[in-house]
């Protein structure tokens, strides 16, 4: 099933609309004072500023790559709060954004959100990402998909662009009170900035891998190079 005239209720261009619609703090990416805030200075890894500025610079390229990848019906809001499991079977809820997506895009959303909203410690993200990716590819193969696995990997890694806006938002809200997702209780600012800083650095690695992988699959090189 594909989004289009026959299924007008399914979303189209979700990633572009979601990413470009979030603009809070964009000017702070180049603001030295914002990067000197104690929460940012102490919990954002060295090099993250350059990586996130580069991601912003390449945003249009990433969005174009994602739109050019093989398409699949996607949930587009897959994260732990939308999954219920009894230990044997799992049910996925909240299909409000479902529609056209790139192969691998749901996984590229699910993994970062596990940490951004404090369901999973950032230290566990590399192991979780490997296990989830291997399971995703296995599921594709078992369903009969026989395409180039590098396209899946590119879809996952290039999904880093979905969080292009988050660094700027964190810079803008460093002095705000921090609450849990949905306003449920207070959250330690140090915990939130540490966990998100580590995860943003993880996404920068994804972005770097996408820049290397895309030209191998016939895509133009990113504006910032490989």
Do 74 and 210 form a contact (C-beta atoms < 8 A)? no
Structure confidence at residue 62 (pLDDT): 98
Q: What is the residue-averaged pLDDT of the chain?
A: 92
Total residues belonging to the chain: 226
| Mean pLDDT on 49-75 | 96
Q: Which band of pLDDT confidence, cut at 50, 70 and 90, is reported for residue 1?
A: very low
| Mean pLDDT on 23-52 | 95
| Mean pLDDT on 69-73 | 95
Domains of the chain: 14-216 (3.90.1200)
Q: What is the pLDDT of residues 104-163, one digit of tens each?
A: 999 999 999 999 999 999 999 999 999 999 999 999 999 999 999 999 999 999 999 999
> Hey, which residues does 72 pair with through a beta bridge?
101
Q: Where are the alpha helices (DSSP H) in 27-147?
A: 32-35, 38-43, 48-57, 59-68, 105-116, 125-142
SS3 content of the chain, % helix, strand, coil (to 5): 60, 10, 35
Round to whole Å and give the CA distance between 52 and 106: 22
Q: How far is CA 123 from the centre of its chain?
A: 17
Structure confidence at residue 9 (pLDDT): 78
Round to whole Å and give the CA distance between 226 and 223: 9
Helix axes of 149-158 and 189-216: crossing angle, nearest 10 degrees:
140
Structure confidence at residue 160 (pLDDT): 98
Structure confidence at residue 87 (pLDDT): 79
Q: Where are the beta strands (DSSP E) in 22-135?
A: 71-74, 83-85, 90-92, 99-102
Structure confidence at residue 187 (pLDDT): 84
User: Higher-confidence residue: 147 or 90?
Assistant: 147
Residue 200 has phi, psi (to 5 degrees) of -65, -35
Min mean pLDDT across 44-53, 71-80, 157-166 is at 71-80
> Hey, which residues does 179 pair with through a beta bridge?
186
Structure confidence at residue 183 (pLDDT): 58
Q: What is the pLDDT of residues 152-203, one digit of tens each?
A: 999 999 999 999 999 999 999 999 877 666 556 688 999 999 999 999 999 9
Angstrom distances, CA of residue 71 to CA of 12, 22, 92, 112, 134: 11, 24, 20, 21, 19
């Amino acid at each position: 099933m594909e989004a289009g005239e026959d299924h007008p209720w399914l979303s189209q261009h979700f990633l572009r609309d979601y990413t470009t619609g979030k603009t809070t703090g964009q000017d702070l990416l180049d603001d030295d004072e914002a990067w000197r805030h104690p929460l940012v200075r102490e919990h954002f890894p060295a090099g993250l500023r350059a990586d996130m500025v580069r991601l912003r610079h390449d945003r249009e390229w990433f969005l174009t790559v994602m739109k050019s990848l093989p398409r699949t019906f996607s949930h587009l809001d897959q994260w732990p709060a939308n999954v219920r499991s009894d230990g044997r079977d799992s049910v996925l809820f909240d299909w409000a954004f479902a529609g056209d997506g790139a192969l691998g895009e749901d996984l590229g959303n699910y993994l970062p959100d596990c940490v951004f909203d404090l369901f999973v410690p950032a230290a566990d993200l590399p192991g979780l990402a490997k296990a989830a990716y291997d399971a995703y590819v296995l599921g594709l193969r078992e369903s009969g998909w026989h395409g180039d696995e590098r396209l899946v990997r590119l879809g996952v890694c290039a999904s880093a662009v979905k969080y292009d806006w988050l660094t700027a938002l964190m810079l803008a809200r460093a002095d705000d009170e921090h609450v849990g997702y949905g306003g449920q209780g207070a959250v330690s600012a140090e915990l939130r900035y540490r966990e998100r800083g580590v995860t943003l650095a993880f996404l920068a690695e994804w972005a770097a891998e996408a820049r290397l992988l895309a030209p191998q699959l016939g895509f133009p090189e990113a504006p910032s190079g490989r």
